[in-house]
Structures are given as structure tokens and as C-alpha cells.
């Protein structure tokens, strides 16, 4: 995975899955809970241990329980959790609405790291949740690459 790949993924399930696994550090659960449909109909869908996945049943898919990541890239309340994690990892975050698009600037004064995603970098987003998700994934690229190199070539899952 590289920056170009991340910038090319549309907001939605694939981007949300990557954020849940690589940024929030929770792979998709491997178990299927019993009674998922009943709990969903009662307004309490089953959540994964860290809360980044929901076990949902969709009528058009035969009401079969399936884990789906929280909609980080399209829901500001979910994206805010990602932003809180970025804040812990980076320290200083600036979100700027400029000329119809969001710019995100991150800086860690202790390690002298800086990151920018916005019009000067050629990446602009009208929706803040999508911009937050892309910035979070791109900032993790070095760690993802190191983990991948340390494995036997499989895609790693960040834990953190």
C-alpha cells in the first residue's frame, strides 16, 4: 500500500476497513455472534471488543450476520475517534476549511515530524471524515511497510 493507493480508494467500506485495521488497530473479528439479527432489530447491534466493527444483518443479503467496520470515512462522529487517536500520536492537529476543501496539518514537536494533506499536496476533500481517514492512513504507511517486511509477505494488521 502506498499514498497513491490510499488517495484512490473511495470513501466507504474499503476505506473504513483499512482505518479499523491499520489505524485503530482492530482486525475484523473472526467469530459470528448468535442472535445478531435480534439485537440489531432491538437497536443494539453487536460490537467488536474495541468498538470498530458492527455485526449487521442486511435484508438484501439474506439477514446473514456480517462484520462491517464503523463508517469512519462518511460519519463525522466515527471520524472523530480517528482524530482523537491522531491527536494522541501527533499532538498538534490543525483542521482548516479553505476554498471549499479541508486541509489537515499534523505536527509532533517531540519527534519533529510533520504531515500535511491539502491543496498544496494535491489532495483535497470536501468532506472532513474522508480527509481525516486518508490522513490517518497515510501517516501510518511507514509502520505498515515495516510490519509487512517483517512478515512473510502477508498484509499486516496494526495493533495499537
Query: Tell me: the pLDDT tens digits for 48-95?
Result: 899 999 887 777 777 778 898 999 999 999 999 999 998 888 888 888
Examine residue 81 and state whether it is found in any structural domain, yes or no.
yes
| Rounded Cα–Cα distance for residues 117 and 131 (Å) | 8
Distances, alpha carbon 99 to alpha carbons 115, 118, 125, in Å? 20, 11, 11
Residue 101 scores a pLDDT above 70: yes
Residue 150 scores a pLDDT above 80: no
Examine residue 63 and state whether it is found in any structural domain, yes or no.
no
Examine residue 95 and state whether it is found in any structural domain, yes or no.
yes
At residue 119, the pLDDT reads: 63
At residue 160, the pLDDT reads: 47
Structurally, how many domains does the chain consist of?
Answer: 1
Torsion sign, CA atoms 84, 85, 88, 90: negative
Examine residue 116 and state whether it is found in any structural domain, yes or no.
yes
Examine residue 88 and state whether it is found in any structural domain, yes or no.
yes
Domain membership of residue 96 as a residue range: 3-9+73-150
At residue 124, the pLDDT reads: 60
Distances, alpha carbon 57 to alpha carbons 12, 13, 45, 121, in Å? 18, 15, 9, 40
State mean pLDDT over 102-117: 79
Examine residue 45 and state whether it is found in any structural domain, yes or no.
no
- Does residue 131 or residue 152 have the better pLDDT? 131
Q: Do the beta carbons of residue 52 and residue 68 sit within 8 Å?
A: no
Amino acid at each position: 500500500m502506498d499514498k497513491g493507493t490510499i488517495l484512490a480508494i473511495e470513501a466507504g467500506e474499503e476505506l473504513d476497513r483499512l482505518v479499523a485495521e491499520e489505524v485503530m488497530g482492530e482486525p475484523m473479528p473472526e467469530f459470528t455472534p448468535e442472535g445478531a439479527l435480534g439485537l440489531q432489530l432491538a437497536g443494539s447491534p453487536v460490537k467488536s471488543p474495541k468498538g470498530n466493527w458492527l455485526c449487521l444483518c442486511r435484508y438484501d443479503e439474506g439477514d446473514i450476520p456480517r462484520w462491517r467496520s464503523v463508517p469512519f470515512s462518511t460519519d463525522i462522529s466515527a471520524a472523530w475517534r480517528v482524530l482523537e487517536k491522531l491527536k494522541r500520536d501527533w499532538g498538534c492537529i490543525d483542521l482548516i476549511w479553505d476554498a471549499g476543501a479541508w486541509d489537515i496539518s499534523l505536527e509532533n514537536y517531540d519527534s519533529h515530524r510533520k504531515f500535511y494533506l491539502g491543496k498544496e499536496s494535491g489532495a483535497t476533500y470536501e468532506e472532513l471524515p474522508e480527509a481525516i481517514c486518508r490522513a490517518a492512513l497515510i501517516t501510518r504507511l511507514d509502520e505498515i511497510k515495516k510490519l509487512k517486511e517483517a512478515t512473510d509477505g502477508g498484509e499486516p494488521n496494526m495493533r495499537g
